[in-house]
Structure 1
């Protein structure tokens, strides 16, 4: 059996997925305020749409 010297992801059984580069490593620092920003953006968008319908 011929094996490449490059370490591949053994969980990727399909030949095409084995040719892909390994996924990037997860960043150490997480952005914990992402949910809060998404909530505020959604709230503001809903408020603006609802307010424009009333006028």
Structure 2
């Protein structure tokens, strides 16, 4: 048997795969400003919860 187990060209020829739209482009990476805002919000939420359990 000389046939390979997986042929990449056969998957593209399937009628269902041909009917699908092309894959979506990945969204751009978020800016560093949003990362800092998320960090500050998470820190404030943790501090508030921790402080409320102590007192």
Q: TM-score scaled to structure 2, two decimals?
A: 0.49
Structure (1 or 2) with the greater helix fraction: 2
Larger RCO (CA within 8 A; separation ≥ 6) = 1
Could you tell me the TM-score, scaled by structure 1's length?
A: 0.49
Structure showing greater Rg: 2
